[in-house]
Structure 1
Amino acid sequence: MDHHDDDHDRGLSHDLQVIGEKIVERRRALAWLASVGGAAIVAGSAAAQMSRGSVTPGGVITVGGGGRSTPTPTATPAPTSTPTPTATSSAGCLVDPTETAGPYPGDGTNTSSGSTSNVLTTSGIVRSDIRSSFISSTAVAGGVLVRITLTVVNVNATCAPLSGYAVYLWHADRQGRYSLYSAPAESYLRGVQVTDANGQVTFTTIFPACYDGRWPHMHFEVFSGLAAATSGRYAVLTSQLAMPSAICSAVYADTTTYPTSASIFKGVKLSTDNVFGDNTTAQIAQQTPTFAGSTSAGYTAAAVIGIAR
């Protein structure tokens, strides 16, 4: 029979010793449990802070989930929007080049048949429809209708329109003749207008012919005001407008109205013209009016005239 070494039935002294040892072990156990519980409470508190997120004095956010520290993000500036371009003297407009007034300006700068011809000092020169003569004849110049609007701007003020300026426009008729000169009895296709608040003037006229030696064109002079224009010889700019090639071809196809222009136009080039030929691409672009319309209904045209004020 097996016998077990039990802790009972061994006497009072033995029992007291065992009880003392148990008390010591219990105290150690309680101390251990207390230490473990405190650590657990601390850990729980730290975990709670991590889950909420806290910022250290160094600018570091401590975040839960792995306990990885992430630097405080630096605010990224909002993207700077690209400004809308505005017209400038280098991009929106430029100074029109000064060109010759040619042999037929009628502005008092030359003579015709031995006498000075200055239509600018003649009553009736201020008009928008320049198709008719107004001095000694009332003949009306025939041809394809053109209503052209010219806008005078100041290139030194971001292309601001110039109001109150006077524009004198003149050009050849459908046969390549100029009134007061090669058509001495006529005064048509010449006129002066004053720019409005938008810096604009509009002339009703006809499409000019193409004549020997020149690309089809219109002449103009700009004056600081009407008084300067009608006094004569005070222009702040003298220049010319080049007619667009495609419109020239369309208009000159009517050889009844424009009897000689089609054949002459085949032999001229804008690049070798003695007025436009040495201009830059940008200058030519500004000197060439935009056209809309047709030969039957007529055309509207527009161009910018840049001067430095």
Structure 2
Amino acid sequence: MNQHPNVNPAPDEDNDDEMVGTLLSRRRALRLLGWGGGVAALAAGSVLAQRTSAGTTGATSLPGCVVRPAQTEGPYFIDEKLNRSDIRKDSKTGKASAGIPLTLDFVVSKVTVGTCTPRGRVLIDVWQCDALGVYSDVSGNTDDFLRGSQVTNAQGKASFTTVYPGWYPGRAVHIHFKLRPLDASGKPTGEFTSQLFFPEAVTDAAHAAAPYNRKGKRNTLNSTDGIYRNGGSQLLLNLTGNPQKGYRATFDVGLNIG
């Protein structure tokens, strides 16, 4: 079993608890998006717009898009260039990570004044720890499980099949993601990085099952995670399903960089 990568990290490694990005007020976010006479483009690497079905009461003149915060990449991103939808297996051994199936559906849009339109050709990278809190391809191991990328189609959609993430000391349960718009030649023209978080009740139910229950009780909840406190409630997934059949979540994002 690989040791957890957070054990005795190298002194020059980035800290996965480091906070980055800008958490904007709703009023400032709407100005940046072009409502109220502001600029209709978002600053690269600073903000993210997410379409939601809640939290927009009284804003009938707006589409369902609000701004979300960027968050730290952390020390464990590796540009593996693994173009795949199912990220559970190690590409060399074929061994799949154990855990409750989780399907993540991304829908990427371009935010303009008053609307969101589908945005294709956005490269989405996803990386996370396994059920016992271990990342692949770090701390001396050469596996590449639970890492992968997809490019959004003309409808702005890309899907990943993974497992519900475990936990490791000092962090709430989360999944990292990176968005990079591509030009006609396939070259990235910008990037945005953030994290997805999970409701505590859903995590409690998932982590009561094997193999998660081998890890023991989590020592960091959303409320005590420094990164979550920097806007994580705006990146909280709404999941359907259960530990027996698996979970699914759709994450709608409006991206105005690149």
TM-score, normalised to structure 2, is 0.69
Matched, 1:296 2:244: yes
Indicate the structure whose relative CO is greater, using CA pairs within 8 Å and at least 6 residues apart: 2
- Corresponding residue for 1:228? 187
- Corresponding residue for 1:156? 112
Shift of 1:94: 2.5
**Aligned with 2:220 (options 264, 268, 272):** 268
Q: Write the letter of the residue equivalent to 1:212.
A: P
Shift of 1:177: 0.6
- Are 1:94 and 1:155, in contact at CA under 8 Å, matched by a contact in 2? no
- Corresponding residue for 2:212? 258
Does the C-alpha gap of structure 1 residues 245 and 146 become closer, same or farther in structure 2, counting only changes over 3 Å? same
Instruction: For structure 1, list consecutive stretches of 5 or more residues without a partner in the other structure.
Output: 1-83, 108-118
**Aligned with 2:203 (options 216, 227, 248):** 248
Q: Write the letter of the residue equivalent to 2:196.
A: L
Larger radius of gyration: 1
Does the C-alpha gap of structure 1 residues 299 and 228 become closer, same or farther in structure 2, counting only changes over 3 Å? same
Superimposed CA distance per residue, residues 186-241 of structure 1 (whole angstroms, 9 cap, x where no aligned partner):
10111111112221111011000011100100000001128236xxxx65201110
Q: Report the secondary structure of 1:246's partner residue.
A: helix
Matched, 1:189 2:141: no
* Ranges of 4+ aligned residues in structure 1 off by more than 3 Å: 84-87, 259-262
CA distance in 2, matches of 1:262, 1:208: 14
CA distance in 2, matches of 1:103, 1:96: 22
Instruction: For structure 2, list consecutive stretches of 5 or more residues without a partner in the other structure.
Output: 1-58
Matched, 1:203 2:122: no
CA distance in 1, matches of 2:61, 2:252: 16
- Corresponding residue for 2:134? 177
Indicate the RMSD between aligned Cα atoms, in angstroms.
2.3
Over the matched positions of the two proteins, sequence identity in percent amounts to: 31
TM-score, normalised to structure 1, is 0.59
Q: Write the letter of the residue equivalent to 1:284.
A: S
CA distance in 2, matches of 1:277, 1:130: 28
Shift of 1:182: 4.1
Q: Report the secondary structure of 1:251's partner residue.
A: helix
**Aligned with 2:100 (options 141, 144, 150):** 144
**Aligned with 1:131 (options 88, 102, 107):** 88
May I ask how many residue pairs the two structures share in their alignment?
A: 197
The structure in which a higher percent of residues are helix is: 1
